[in-house]
Amino acid sequence: MSFVDGPVLAVAIDPGRLAAGIVDSDGEILVRDRVSTPPREVWRSLETLVSRVLAARPDDLPPPISVGVSCAGPLDLAAGSVTPELMPAWIGFALRDRLELLTGLPVVLDSAAGAAAEAERLFGDATEVRSFLTLMLGRTVESACVIDEVRLRGAHGNAGSLAHLTVEPDGLTCTCGASGCLSAYASSTSIEAEIKRPLRRATDSIIDRTGIMIGRAIASSAAMFEVSTFLLSGVVLDTFGDPLLESIRREVDLRSQLAASEKLRVLESSGFIRSLVAAASLPRSIDT
């Protein structure tokens, strides 16, 4: 299955990295570049990056016909603006309008997890799954939900987000100011801030606790959305590995006693869907 009938300019934005590339109709990245996300002047860095990628397009490659951009949430799809966590330089930043003005192309904006969900539907682990939830455990916690092949979006485009679902009443303080959010227990930023060391040096008890909190969020989401397939990815999962998955599944089994949850699956995402390919899937899926 292809994206659109022509190359797509893909842009992927998260608190640690800005990436841009040109992706063809088969999902192959033909041109790519990336830079670290600066604390200030983020747009200037992104503008330079995108311009550099467009300038590097080979003469025999047709120009992009659209732009797919994924960005850490939260966002406002109606306004085309973003307020990514851990990126204080962008508060209500009009990203879609800025990119349309820069490139002269139509821009499709979505969250990082939303782009991953669309890519999973096109050629990943969810090609034959009607309902599923993607959960990305990175610097921030990102998620998106598809039910009966329809993406949940909500009024602003953040429906299906689990980052600020309460998993431990009166628990750790989250960056949002509330207590006990999943993000406070499952993002690499929060874990490293708590243990005061790199993620790879987390103790077994921290890994187990992280799995318990993720398991609670998954069990609650399964009951709420009647979703039985959860696709997990991100640096936290990559670093903690099987012990984290075992802890998650154990907690899910403990808390999912409804008949509808009997076939609940917690899977590691296929892993080959890169962020730029995910972003490039957005123009292809705009009408789905």
Quickly state the pLDDT bin for 286 (edges 50, 70, 90): low
Residues of the chain with pLDDT > 90, as a percent, come to 76
**pLDDT for res 204:** 97
Residue range 92-99: mean pLDDT, rounded: 97
**pLDDT for res 165:** 96
Q: Cβ distance 182 to 213 under 8 Å? A: yes
Closest CA to 75 of 66, 64, 84: 84
Distance CA 10, CA 70 (A): 8
pLDDT at 287 over 50: no
**pLDDT for res 123:** 66
Residue range 221-247: mean pLDDT, rounded: 94
pLDDT at 138 over 50: yes
pLDDT at 272 over 60: no
Closest CA to 31 of 216, 276, 246, 278: 276
**pLDDT for res 128:** 75
pLDDT at 162 over 50: yes
pLDDT at 288 over 60: no
> Tell me, what amino acid is at 204?
D
**pLDDT for res 285:** 72
pLDDT at 271 over 80: no
Quickly state the pLDDT bin for 264 (edges 50, 70, 90): confident
Indicate if the alpha-carbon torsion angle 109, 113, 117, 123 is positive or negative. positive
Q: Which domains does the chain have, with CATH numbers?
A: 8-115+273-284 (3.30.420.40), 128-268 (3.30.420.40)
**pLDDT for res 121:** 81
What are the structure tokens assigned to 48, written together? Answer: 């330079």
pLDDT at 254 over 50: yes
**Average pLDDT over the chain, rounded to an integer:** 91
Question: pLDDT of 99-135, one tens digit each?
Answer: 999 999 999 999 999 999 988 887 666 667 889 999 9
Quickly state the pLDDT bin for 248 (edges 50, 70, 90): very high
Distance CA 281, CA 4 (A): 8
Q: Cβ distance 226 to 131 under 8 Å? A: yes
Q: Cβ distance 15 to 72 under 8 Å? A: yes
How many other CB atoms are there within 10 angstroms of residue 264's CB atom?
20
pLDDT at 260 over 60: no
Distance CA 163, CA 141 (A): 5
Model-level pTM?
A: 0.89
Quickly state the pLDDT bin for 164 (edges 50, 70, 90): very high
Distance CA 46, CA 67 (A): 14
**pLDDT for res 3:** 46
Q: Cβ distance 178 to 167 under 8 Å? A: no
Q: Cβ distance 269 to 232 under 8 Å? A: yes
Residue range 218-237: mean pLDDT, rounded: 93
How many other CB atoms are there within 10 angstroms of residue 180's CB atom?
18
> Tell me, what amino acid is at 24?
D
Quickly state the pLDDT bin for 268 (edges 50, 70, 90): confident
Question: pLDDT of 19-49, one tens digit each?
Answer: 999 998 878 899 999 999 999 999 999 999 9
